[in-house]
Amino acid sequence: MRARTKIITFGKKEISKIVLFFLYRAFKVSYYLDTNIEKEIKKWKENMQIEIKTCENGPFLILKKSNNQIKRIKRNDTKSDISIQFKSLDSAFLMLTGRLGVAKAYAEHRFILKGDISEAMSFVRCVDIIESYLFPRVITKRILKAKYKKQKSSILMYVHILINR
């Protein structure tokens, strides 16, 4: 591998790690600030785990619903209820940075979904709502199929994410 390619790959992994960190924080915060997300998450069964893997040995995120809270699991010793495995770091990077929507990534077979598709769709609805808060309207018009009405301002959401409410 050339040095330039290694640097680019390293950069994509680090940016993906940061985005997944903020996605986790956004899930925690939006559960309390947005009733649509609260309703979706309350439908999830207790101890439900959702795993997002960017690539083999790459950044990952495991969310777990426990006691009506969203927690981050550092290591997965049990099988997740929903597993989203991207086929490449490039595909994960495009989606995590708002250049590619979930629907288009699914249509282009950029990831493998394991688990109940109806539970996965609930998770995707939550991600779409969170993206409507975190990304500017220019991006959300392009990547989201539906327009979501924000219940709080994006600035308030960012503040709560940054201070880890």
- The residues facing 71 across adjacent strands are 64
Question: Structure pTM?
Answer: 0.88
- Residue 84: which of 34, 76, 69 has the closest Cα? 76
User: Would you state the pLDDT for residue 76?
Assistant: 66
pLDDT in tens, 130-157: 988 888 888 888 777 777 788 888 888 8
Q: What's the average model confidence in pLDDT over 58-63?
A: 93
Of residues 165 and 66, more confidently modeled? 66
Q: At what angle do helices 154-163 and 3-33 cross, to 10 degrees?
A: 110
Kindly indicate the confidence band of residue 165, based on its pLDDT and cuts at 50, 70 and 90.
low
- 């979501």: which residue's tokens? 148
Average pLDDT for the chain: 89
Q: What's the average model confidence in pLDDT over 3-17?
A: 91
Q: What's the average model confidence in pLDDT over 79-106?
A: 90
User: Would you state the pLDDT for residue 62?
Assistant: 94
3-163: CATH number: 3.30.1050
Is the distance from CB of 62 to CB of 72 less than 8 angstroms?
yes
pLDDT in tens, 98-107: 888 888 898 8
Kindly indicate the confidence band of residue 1, based on its pLDDT and cuts at 50, 70 and 90.
low
Is the distance from CB of 131 to CB of 107 less than 8 angstroms?
no
- Residue 152: which of 30, 21, 23, 25 has the closest Cα? 30
**DSSP track, 19-49:** HHHHHHHHHHHHHHH-HHHHHHHHHSPTT-E
* Separation of alpha carbons 60 and 39, rounded Å: 25
Say what percent of the chain tops pLDDT 70. 98
Q: How far is CA 92 from CA 86, 108, 133, 151, in A?
A: 6, 13, 20, 28
